[in-house]
Amino acid sequence: MKRSTTLNNVNAYAHFNILFFIPACFVSIDIHPNAGWQQNGITVAGGNRQGNGINQLYNPCGLYVDDDQTVYVADTSNHRIVEWKWGATSGQVVAGGNGQGSGAHQLSYPQDVIVDKERDSLIICDGWNRRVVRWPRRNGTSGETIISNIYCVGLTMDENGSLYVTDEGKHEVRRYRRGESQGTVVAGGNGSGNRLDQLSYPQYVFVDLDHSVYVSECGNHRVMKWVEGAKQGIVVAGGQGEGNGLTQLSYPKGVVVDQLDTVYVADRGNDRIMRWPKGATQGSVIVGGNGTGEQSNQLNQPFGLSFDRHGNLYVVDYGNHRVQIFNTNSNAQDLFRIDLDTI
């Protein structure tokens, strides 16, 4: 059943029609093609130089933004997951934080994190431990390994609760339905290479309503789309070699796709976030692209990428040890609509 609700007086977000699918973590956002974002970001996590204090981050990578704008950050070099509530000046460790290690209570360079709302838990790419772990979201003291022997960088979940995980070592993306331990290859799996049936060092992954898989590749400097059941993908961003032209990407990381099939990608090597409309041969810079730096209009190796329910853009600024929000500058009417699909 689908419920449509109109909310008023919520800061001019009519360009953003957001679909939240319950119970999983899946969020789909429909962004108006003319939408734009303020060029000066605001720090919502970290930003106090690198360190292990509760108000600091150290080389953060992936993130998850909850409905209430709480941010969960993979604080990679601190071997922990940190929760930052909206407006907070410090975070709370919700997983790991017990030193680098392979124990059930430890993490080792975690790369990404999502929230499984049905089970009220975190699912974490525990990078150097070559595992994916499930950790209770509230007062959890240890995690449970749910996938082993995987060089996981990014992960996401669809509306059915199926988990999609990139494996950088095997150059593939696998889907794990609930209860599965082996999974099914849904992208790549044919060795490292630049053919359309191959991936090279896949990083982050996004799954749309049709279960098409979008994956960023550092080795090929491109974003690929694999339709469900396909034996090969199509290039939807980059793929013209490493570079800083508008047709190129450089070591792309986080990727989000809206319902118009527009691709938003963290262009790590170029310190910018790009938007590639469906079928476009080049993208446009939506934030960053002002050189490497720590000013509010600059980025230093952007990694994770997400939107909140209002259409604001969140970027994990790896080299500046912070998470930045770039608010929408929409001038549309003072309303937006939320559609809830209960399954």
Instruction: Report the candidate in 128, 90, 85 with the shortest Cα–Cα distance to residue 106.
Output: 128
Tokens (6 digits) for 187? 């992208």
CA distances to 40, 77, 341 from 286, in Å? 11, 28, 30
Residue with tokens 């934080």: 97
- Tens digit of each residue's pLDDT (9 = 90 or more) over 96-118: 999 999 999 999 999 999 999 99
Residue 196 and residue 159 in contact, taking contact as beta carbons nearer than 8 Å: no
pLDDT confidence of residue 330: 66
- Tens digit of each residue's pLDDT (9 = 90 or more) over 11-47: 333 344 444 333 345 556 778 888 999 999 999 999 9
Q: Domains of the chain (ranges plus CATH)? A: 42-326 (2.120.10.30)
pLDDT confidence of residue 5: 32
HSE, CB side, 13 Å, CA atoms: give it for residue 132. 27
- Tens digit of each residue's pLDDT (9 = 90 or more) over 300-335: 999 999 999 889 999 999 999 999 999 998 654 333
pLDDT confidence of residue 113: 99
Confidence of residue 10 (pLDDT cuts 50, 70, 90): very low
Q: How far apart are CA 296 and CA 270, in angstroms?
A: 16
pLDDT confidence of residue 26: 56
Is it the case that residue 290 has pLDDT exceeding 70?
A: yes
Q: How far apart are CA 286 and CA 90, in angstroms?
A: 28
Q: How far apart are CA 183 and CA 297, in angstroms?
A: 41
Percent of the chain residues topping a pLDDT of 70:
88
pTM: 0.90
Confidence of residue 87 (pLDDT cuts 50, 70, 90): very high
- Tens digit of each residue's pLDDT (9 = 90 or more) over 50-86: 999 999 999 999 999 999 999 999 999 999 999 999 9
State the average pLDDT for the chain.
Answer: 90
Q: How far apart are CA 331 and CA 125, in angstroms?
A: 38
Residue 339 and residue 17 in contact, taking contact as beta carbons nearer than 8 Å: yes
